[in-house]
Structures are given as structure tokens and as C-alpha cells.
């Protein structure tokens, strides 16, 4: 299992590159995406990336989960839910703040026993 940490790209071509790289990872490995959004709410770029992934991966079930950054953000039920989704073949995309994304990826890696964490630039 791979956990990919990504953030909102600044321009359209960057979004397309990010989508292509995430799609490549999803095809070749069991993938969970932690997407760091600059605002409290995911921006237009976050939705552009999600739409791009849906276009590139029509046979994958994308499941978007919003996690607020807080001290108790990752409870066992969160890890169990993500594990169950991945067992069903879904591609979970966790959206959180840009600042919290790396820490959430580490905590998810521990909970789900991921093989690696990658930062997708």
C-alpha cells in the first residue's frame, strides 16, 4: 500500500500532471491519497484533481473523506473505515489542511501498515 501526499497545484497544467501521477500510482499499487488543501474548505483545484482522477480512473471508486486537523483527528474507527474501503477496492482521498497533511499521512501509515509514503509534487 502506498500513501501519496499531495497539495493543491497552483495552475492548470500542474493539476493535470498531479492527476496523471496519482492515476499511475493507483493503477500500479493500492493507493490512499492525503490531499492538503490551503483553505479550510477544499479549493477549486482540489475538485479539479478529483474530477481528473475520476476521468482517468473510471473503474475505481473514489471516496472523499474530509478530516479536520486536530489532536484527535485519527481514531481507530477512521483507520478501520479506510482499511475497509481499501479492501473493497476503493481509492480513498483524505482532504485536510495543507499543514496537517504530512502528519495525517504518517498516522495513517501506522494505522494501515502502509509500505511507503510518497510526496507527489
pLDDT tens per residue across span 47-83: 888 899 999 999 999 999 888 776 555 565 677 888 8
Structure confidence at residue 83 (pLDDT): 86
Of residues 70 and 16, more confidence is placed in 16
pTM of the complete model beyond 0.75: yes
Give, as one character, the DSSP assignment of residue 29: S
**Per-residue model confidence as pLDDT tens digits over 94-106:** 988 888 899 989 9
C-alpha cell at 54: 475520476
Is residue 115 within 8 Å of residue 2, measured between CB atoms? yes
Structure confidence at residue 114 (pLDDT): 94
Three-point CA angle 69, 75, 76, nearest 5°:
150
Q: What is the mean pLDDT of the chain?
A: 85
Of residues 80 and 9, more confidence is placed in 80
2 bridge partner residues: 31, 116
Q: What strand order describes the sheet that includes 31-37?
A: 61-66, 90-97, 31-37, 2-7, 116-119
Question: Which structural domain, as residue segments, surrounds residue 54?
Answer: 2-119
Is residue 34 within 8 Å of residue 101, measured between CB atoms? yes
Count Cβ atoms below 10 Å from residue 12 Cβ, excluding itself. 10
Residue 96, classed as helix, strand or coil, is: strand
Q: What is the CATH number of the domain that holds 45?
A: 3.40.1160.10
What total number of domains does the chain contain? 1
Structure confidence at residue 41 (pLDDT): 57
Whether residue 36 has pLDDT greater than 80: yes
Amino acid at each position: 500500500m502506498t500513501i501519496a501526499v499531495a497539495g493543491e497545484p497552483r495552475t492548470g497544467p500542474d493539476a493535470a500532471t498531479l492527476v496523471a501521477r496519482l492515476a499511475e500510482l493507483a493503477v500500479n499499487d493500492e493507493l490512499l491519497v492525503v490531499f492538503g488543501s490551503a483553505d479550510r474548505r477544499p479549493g477549486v483545484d482540489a475538485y479539479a484533481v478529483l474530477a481528473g482522477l475520476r476521468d482517468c480512473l473510471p473503474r475505481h471508486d473514489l471516496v472523499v473523506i474530509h478530516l479536520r486537523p486536530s489532536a484527535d483527528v485519527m481514531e481507530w474507527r477512521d483507520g478501520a473505515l479506510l482499511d475497509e474501503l481499501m479492501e473493497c477496492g476503493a481509492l480513498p482521498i483524505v482532504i485536510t489542511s495543507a499543514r496537517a497533511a504530512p502528519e495525517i499521512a504518517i498516522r495513517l501509515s501506522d494505522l494501515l501498515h502502509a509500505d511507503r509514503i510518497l510526496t507527489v509534487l
